[in-house]
Structure 1
Amino acid sequence: MVAVVAGPDAGHAFPALGLAAQFAAAGDDAVVYTGTRWLADGARCGVEVRELPGLVALPGEDDEDAGAKLSARAARMALALAPELAEAGVDLVISDVITRAGGWAAELVGIPWIELSPHPLYEQSRGLPPIGAGMDVGIGVRGRLRDVALRVMSAPSAADGRRSTALARRSIGLSDVPEPAARFVATLPGLEVHRPDWPARTHVIGPLAYEPTDAVFATPDGGGPLVVVAPSTAKSGEGDLGKAALDGLADLARRREIRVVYSALTPPPDNAATPDAFVAGTARQDEVLSRAAVAVCGAGHGMLAKALLAGVPVVTVPGGGDQWELANRVLRAGCGVVVRPADAGAIASAVARVLDDDAFAAAARGVAATNHATVDPVRVAHRTLDRASTTRERRTARAAD
């Protein structure tokens, strides 16, 4: 049995469900541990979904403290999850990179685990500027010196994180450093950046798409190009994106023919303007993107990867978290435009620019084509299990001797 562990945010729960569905399709038993919001989704993708124990903050815990979630809180959750993994007879755990409890619980039980990054690899590199800055690699002596200086400036924060992790792991009887058997990076190779120190046993497996519904968007009336607006589901997303995009597109629709689909888990803002050719709701994004000419989104990896996988260029309006990094990677790849902050006029101008220049769509199709270079996560997982089994047998044989 394979257990996939992820937090309740859609940007992490959806990739976990998508990956578990791949294991189920290959004939493996799969279970997803995540937030209760997604318990009913197991039937849709052929897997069991269970509540991830310990997600609710205890009295005295700061639910907004990301550092504590990655250390002390992860340790507490690992202690709660470990008995469930043992009782269920789980053979392999795949743990979301920010839901560390999954991997740590696997170590407590003595089973192998794989770390899952539902986005590009964000581990810092000796050959890159700090991840998150949105910068390209420095060119020439001055550029390399800039990158070195930035890495030195960010090093103390990284060291603090490692110390907190080590302390939390020691508190539950684990070694200082996590020990995944492999890593999955669930992105398009075209969104990755070259690094000289790519970690061993780290595999790019392509985006893990999951649709929480089977509904399909109706096609708005008219014959103009289709624009898909998808505000971020992340707490750190640009909160004004939905209204700004709709206001800007309503104004653009008065000057040129366009059709707009607003795709979100919640309705559009009541005070937003809307074009005449307009549809809103929750339905399959992969299907509507197959008909789209451009997508406006917050640069969260989930929607960004869906759009680019469909060869659709993007106008990104990044918020916090990793969205600035991703938006700038898209900009450098030539398959999108960055607007920051959310401004109706700027979004409308960016959409018009993308629609009028075929180079953006060509670049998006180029990024989509890189998906052929990904590997099958199920096959890698099976090899990981075989390797772990062989290691256990050798240890048993040595102990018998």
Structure 2
Amino acid sequence: MLLFYRLFIISCYIVYCLTQFNSSNNLCLNGPNFWCLNDTTELLCNFTNKTIGLCGYTSKRCQIKTGDSFCKSSPPAQEQSPFEFNGGLTGVDDNLFSYYILSLYWPPSSCPPIYNETIDLLHYFCSSYTDINQPGSERLALHGLWPTFSTNGNYQGWPQFCLSNQNDWSKCHINGNLCPWTNTTKDNFTQVDYEYCLSMENRQECLINATDILLPEQERLKILAPGYLGIRNLFINHEWTKHGSCCSLIFGYNISYYLAYMLNLVDMATRPGSLTYEYIQRYAGEKVGINYLIAALNQTAIINCNSKCELEEVWMCMHRDRHTGLPNRFVTCPPGARNTSDSCKKAQCEYVFIPLRNQYRQISTDNYYFPPLWTTLLSIIFLLILLKYLILGFGTCYQLL
């Protein structure tokens, strides 16, 4: 009788698990060994022949050993904890993710004062609409909307270049080998170079009809997403093939809908009265304490800095609606996401500086900044006037003595 009872309980558990799996693919995201692909996880998640960045740096399977967990093996393999993983899974099925990240960037930290279409072509964030005095040059702007995995609260990467019943976008990843320039024109051939090559080669498998998509939104793009108006439409191609493809079912495979929804989110997240407006936009040109800023944003944002502790990006975590699948509200970021993405912490920044265009002028590709000439001249004039009054003051004092 006891044996029958145990078998009944086990059967019920198996039926429950199968039901859960059929109703939601998220069962296969339960880690932490999820990222160390093996026969079991590949079968459970249908990840056969998929590639994953081994802790973010290679496209091999994890060198997992007995007793190890999550991309943590003996040298020379990567030795990083789950909280340090930072890689994307290419070719995964569409619609397999947990939550969204709305990524916003700060143009003064990423773009030159004047955009040069030849030199700055591959700087996706930049266009003529990020130039000085343009309406979108000194405010948070759209980078993208990213489907992201969240297993048991830990950060375990993201799906990228996904597969749907409409398209297999995995070929648009550098591993797709569609570009004849790969590893021939430069030693550090990157995904950006690959996508530029696809555009130049007119590889239609990875190009979208960007003109028809961008033109109806052009006026909003100038303010909310100025980088999307760069030449050759590289930015929108990248964001759709890498990220949008992984939630394309939710957006009805409609790239115009995807773009319009992202712009609506940016407008909501950055308008006057929003948290980013009150605690980032209004502090432009000043320093803000990192811990203060994170707390002010209710733990819903991950702040990214460069090596000089200047604001680069703000990643807003968004809930995935259980019915529509769309992002509908900001939520507390998973602790693992903050730990692995906190570039401010890694740069040992106690504060983040939010630069303005008229404070610094980029004069080289080495990211060195110097005050503009007029600021230097005004400083010299001020010092001369101050020196004059000091001399007059000392002269008066001497006469009184």
How high is the TM-score relative to the length of structure 2?
0.23
Q: TM-score, normalised by structure 1?
A: 0.23
Greater relative contact order (Cα < 8 A, sep 6+):
2
